[in-house]
Structure formats: C-alpha cells, structure tokens
Amino acid sequence: MTQRKDLRNIAIIAHVDHGKTTLVNELLKQSDTLDSHTQLDDRVMDNNDLERERGITILAKNTAVKYKGTHINIMDTPGHADFGGEVERILKMVDGVVLVVDAYEGTMPQTRFVLMKALEEGLTPVVVVNKIDKPSARPQEVVDEVLDLFIELGADDDQIDFPVVYASAINGTSSASDQLADQEPNMDAIFDAVLEHVPAPEANFDEPLKFQVSLLDYNEYVGRIGIGRIFSGQIHVGDQVTLIKNDGSQKNFRVTKMFGFFGLDRVEIQEAKAGDLIALAGMEDIFVSETITDPENPEAMPALHIDEPTLQMTFLTNNSPFAGREGDYVTSRNLQDRLESELHTDVSLKVEPTDSPDAFTVSGRGELHLSILIENMRREGYEFQVSRPQVIIKEVDGVQMEPFERVQIDTPEEYMGAIIEALGMRKAEIADMINPGTGQVRMIFSVPARGLIGFSTEFMSLTHGYGIMNHSFDEYRPLIDGNIGRRRNGALVAQEAGQTTTYSIMNLEDRGTIFVEPGTEVYGGMIVGEHNRENDLTVNITRAKALTNVRSATKDQTSVIKQPRKMTLEESIEFMDDDEYCEVTPQSIRLRKKILDKNAREKAAKKDKK
C-alpha cells in the first residue's frame, strides 16, 4: 500500500502540567506555518478563559504545521482524568503520539492512562522529556521510568524501541542529548523524530469513502460540525454522502462546507482525501462515532468508546430570597437551553429532566468536569443552584456497582500517616508505596469515587500545601456499605435576613469558621460558616451591639475579627451536604439549606431519623 509521505497525524499526550500546550506553541512558532508578523500568546491553544486561569487543557484542540514540506496535523489533548474520553477518541484519528514527560516529576497517573490508551491503539510513540532546564531535572531516571511503564503496560518490541528527545518547551530548545549544554535553539529534534518514526497514512484514495466523527463543534451559522479523519476514499464539497448513525439507521445529506486545519486557523477547503483530518458541516444531528460513507457502499466503522459519566448533580432555578438580583438568565427555560447547547459539543455530559420543571439532572465525568461547566455558565450571566454531587450507581447482574478511582499521592514523608488514616476512613485500599529515602513518598490507592468528593481541600490542609494528588477512573466495583466521605462538621446557619455585623461575627468565632465579612447581606437559612461540632447551629449573625455612649461606639469600630474563609466554587461544592444547595450567580457563590425555615428544617430532620 502506498503512503502519503507529505502527511503525518500525531497527538500530544501527557499528564496535567507537563508542558504539552507550551510545546505545541513552540512547534507552531518554529515550523514553516505562521508568517513572521504573527504574535503568539503563551499557550495559545488554551483559548478558553478558564483554561488560561487554571493552566489546564479542557477541550481537545487541533492545529497543523508545515515542516520540510510535510503537513503535520497535531492534536493537543487534555491531561486531566475528567476529560479522558476526549483522549481516547483523538487517538483513533492519529498514527503516532508524542508522549511528554516532566524531567523531574517523571511518570504520573495520567501518563499511565494516556500511554495505555495509545499502546492499545498500536500507535508509534516519540518520547519528549520536557523541562530539561529545571535544576532538579533527572532525565536518565525519568527515561528509565518511562521504559518500565512501557513494559508494565505490555508494549510490543517496536513500541519499546522509542526515540527520546530532550526539550525545554518554555525556552524553545530541544536535542537528542540529555545534556543541557547540548540543547539546540529550535524544535527540529522533535520534528525530525516525528518524520522518521511516525508512519505516514495510507494513500487508499480509490476505496469507498469512510470518515468517522471523533469530536464535535458547533457554530451558529453552519450548525453542528463533525471533526474526524478520512480513513479511505475522497470527499468534495457538494458530494451526496450517507451518514450511518450509532443506532444503525442511515441518512443521506449533501456536504455544504469542509474545513482543514493550518496554523491557528480553520481553513475552508473544497476536497479532502484519505489521511486528512477535517471538519465537516451539513448534517444537523451528527454525533460522535458515526460514519460518513459512500452511498453506493455504506459500511460503518467500529464504534468509538465514549466515557460514561460517574458523577451527577441537580441543576435547578434559583429560588432563594435573593433570586433574580444578579443574573441575566434566571428562568428554567434559560437553564434548559444552556444545558442542551452544551450537549452539542460535550459528549461525556448527560442532561435529563426531573419530576420538577425547574430542575435537571446533569451527569459528568467528575467534579472538575461539572464545576467547569458551572463556572462557565455563571460567567455568561446565568443564575441557578446546584445540589451536592452524587456518584452514579450501576446495577450489573443484580449487583449494585460504584465507580473506583486510582489515586496517586506524592507527599513529604511526615504527612504519610495522616493521609493513610484520612483515606482509610474513606474506604481506600493502598495498592503501592514507593519510598526512595529522599524525604518524599509516593502512595497509590484504590478509592471509591464518592470517597474523593470533598477530599482535595482536606488533602491540602493535611499536607500544608506540599502534597500532590492525581487520580483517574479505574473501574466499577460492588458498592461498599456506609456513608463515605461525608462532611464531619455541621454548618453555622443564619437565623434571619439582614447585614452581618462585626459584633455578631466576633461572638461567633469560637463556634467555628466564619465564611462572610461584616456588612454581607444574608437571608434566613443561608450558611455563614462551619460549626466546630457535628451538628448544625442556627445563629444570629446580624445582631448589632446596643450602643450606650460615644466611647463604646468607637471601641466597637476598632474590634478586630479573624479573616473569614472565602469559599471558592470548588470548595463550596465539596462542602455541601445532601440537605444543602450552592447558589451560583455571576457575582456570588452562596451556600444555603434546602429548607430555609429553621422550624420546618428541624421537623424534616426528625422525620428523616424515623
């Protein structure tokens, strides 16, 4: 079979924060792609505000560069476990992977996850040891770790014989040598390794058309766009083609627009052929895994795996006393339309109606997946409430099953005992422990996913910010009895509406941790702090001191209170209990009880105990 020597398709895979996106930036800069006037921002592929703020890639991106006359399609993949479904589908589109590994951190849980998927697909790997300029870099040991991981994951002889390039993406340098002094001021070593080792696509242009959708995009002008690879044949704008749906049904449609990728742009094209990665418009209800074929020879490709959601939350319209004050979109119709529009592009998300017209069950791949959706919505002007996350329990052969996660923790040795104890209470089992005697220890656990809800804040506290925790979905196992990972302490709940005062906050500080500053407007049933005991406590946080003379008034003004604990969206979601909501608006994040009235709440609690 002849090959398209003018084309290579690769994916960049790595653990979170090992430098994938920075590396793609440099490949773009140093290829023969952009003209000399184009100014690239740092991590230009992360074009979503949240991606830039958090330093993570959320959505898969594709670009393409020219190098020595060869068109190289590059897929930049997410590294976080919550977006693993994107990684799997992208790997179906490419012939090789560039595995980026941090020269100090070495192999991490997501390195293992993405490499396992790449090896299962039989892809050719090129290993890039990045951040070689770090003072703490240990490139030789890291390459040994990578080799051990390849062997452990069952790589074949060809895959184990991988080329290694050493690079500093942030400085735009690379080399085949592991010596920092040998770094060349360009990315040629990576490009050359890709051209030499990654196979070119087959040039089977004469066979019937087969194009499979791996990713979705949406555009108001052309509707839903299917992004994928042409595995055989050719396609032209205006062609009549057949779409084979996931349920086996077929629909004919005409190709109205096609796009190729070059540099940072999606370029409109008139034709494409086997090996090309393209975006296709013209079919409104196109979905991931579906095949576009020749009407004369309709044949579906094997279905792509789409990660099942493991976590769900209820999204509902805001019905608190402050409802409608701060949001532009506040109705259930607004909420439903926005959630349904997310389904156009996010195939790991599920949205289902509930018994109430104002509430929807939203299922996703994890806390990060759902919290990013919530954060994007509040920035767009939406106001709504969400419930505590719940894991999705499945029934297999009459047995209830729950999701388990593989958790890797790197921490200073002195915090090891506290972590083992805390995770033990969350029904974790320790799978491995590596203590090289450097003062740092690596522990690997198997933990029920519900045991990780709310754990990251506790983890940062246990390790004083020095610990690193990473996790990825492992498997479904039989359900473990008992409440796992629930909040131990109760909440401090405002008794009535009003403005918080310095005087009342000072009087409550010995009862727990306060979340609000003086002068904050609150309502009855709103959570204003964490109680230092297990039970909830209703408190008067709006009471002002009775002033009897000028002296005491001045004294009151100079009172000093502790800094309140400002709750982020993630911390609020982790803090919530089953009888609470998180109220989300463009300006505020508030925690509240589902039942705001104290007497009604206490009656309901007594009823539940019975």
Please, is 510 exposed, middle or buried when counting C-beta atoms within 10 Å of its C-beta (0-12, 13-18, 19+)?
exposed
Give the mean model confidence (pLDDT) for residues 40-51.
Answer: 41
Res 85: pLDDT: 65
Q: With 50 as the cut, is the pLDDT of residue 534 above it?
A: yes
State whether 268 and 157 are in the same domain.
no
Model confidence at 45, in pLDDT bands (50, 70, 90)?
very low
Res 31: pLDDT: 61
Q: With 50 as the cut, is the pLDDT of residue 36 above it?
A: no
For position 472, which CATH number holds? 3.30.70.240
Q: With 60 as the cut, is the pLDDT of residue 495 above it?
A: yes
Q: Residues comprising the binding site for GTP?
A: 17-22, 130-133
State whether 180 and 216 are in the same domain.
no
Residue 164 lies in a domain: yes
Residue 73 lies in a domain: yes
Residue 551 lies in a domain: no
The Cα 349–Cα 541 span in angstroms is: 40
Task: Measure Cα distances from 600 to 4, 385, 386, 603, 607 in Å.
Answer: 71, 20, 21, 5, 11
- Taking only the tens place, the pLDDT of each residue in 348-358 is 889 999 999 99
**Mean pLDDT of the chain, nearest integer:** 84
For position 266, which CATH number holds? 2.40.30.10
Q: With 50 as the cut, is the pLDDT of residue 222 above it?
A: yes
- Taking only the tens place, the pLDDT of each residue in 373-431 is 999 899 999 999 999 999 999 998 899 999 998 888 888 899 999 999 999 989 999 99
Q: With 90 as the cut, is the pLDDT of residue 439 above it?
A: no
Task: Give the residue, 39 or 235, on which the prediction is more confident.
Answer: 235
Which of 478, 504, 523 is the C-terminal boundary of a domain?
478
Q: Residues comprising the binding site?
A: 17-22, 130-133
pTM, two decimal places: 0.76
Residue 385 lies in a domain: no
State whether 165 and 287 are in the same domain.
no
- Taking only the tens place, the pLDDT of each residue in 501-528 is 999 999 999 999 999 999 999 999 999 9
The Cα 363–Cα 352 span in angstroms is: 8
Q: Where are the alpha helices (DSSP H) in 425-534?
A: 449-452, 455-462, 502-508
State whether 32 and 164 are in the same domain.
yes
State whether 20 and 123 are in the same domain.
yes
Res 51: pLDDT: 36
State whether 192 and 223 are in the same domain.
no
State whether 170 and 287 are in the same domain.
no
Model confidence at 341, in pLDDT bands (50, 70, 90)?
confident
The whole domain housing 240 covers: 210-293
Tell me the CB-side half-sphere exposure of residue 529, using CA atoms within 13 A: 29
Q: With 70 as the cut, is the pLDDT of residue 278 above it?
A: yes
Model confidence at 53, in pLDDT bands (50, 70, 90)?
very low
State whether 239 and 185 are in the same domain.
no
Which of 293, 308, 341 is the C-terminal boundary of a domain?
293
- Taking only the tens place, the pLDDT of each residue in 133-163 is 988 889 999 999 999 989 888 888 888 999 9
State whether 99 and 187 are in the same domain.
yes
**377 strand-pairing partners:** none
**Under 8 Å CB-to-CB from 493, ≥6 apart: which residues?**
525, 526, 527, 528, 536, 537, 538, 539, 593, 598
Res 118: pLDDT: 86
**Under 8 Å CB-to-CB from 85, ≥6 apart: which residues?**
305, 306, 307, 347, 348, 365
Which of 478, 510, 541 is the C-terminal boundary of a domain?
478
Sign of the CA dihedral running 580, 312, 458, 134? negative
Please, is 534 exposed, middle or buried when counting C-beta atoms within 10 Å of its C-beta (0-12, 13-18, 19+)?
exposed
- Taking only the tens place, the pLDDT of each residue in 310-339 is 889 999 999 999 999 999 999 999 999 999
Res 193: pLDDT: 93
Q: With 70 as the cut, is the pLDDT of residue 603 above it?
A: yes
State whether 98 and 72 are in the same domain.
yes
The Cα 49–Cα 571 span in angstroms is: 20
State whether 181 and 280 are in the same domain.
no
State whether 181 and 235 are in the same domain.
no
Residue 78 lies in a domain: yes
Please, is 546 exposed, middle or buried when counting C-beta atoms within 10 Å of its C-beta (0-12, 13-18, 19+)?
exposed
Q: How many domains would you assign to the chain? A: 3
Res 264: pLDDT: 67
Length of the chain: 610
Give the mean model confidence (pLDDT) for residues 169-191.
Answer: 89
For position 182, which CATH number holds? 3.40.50.300
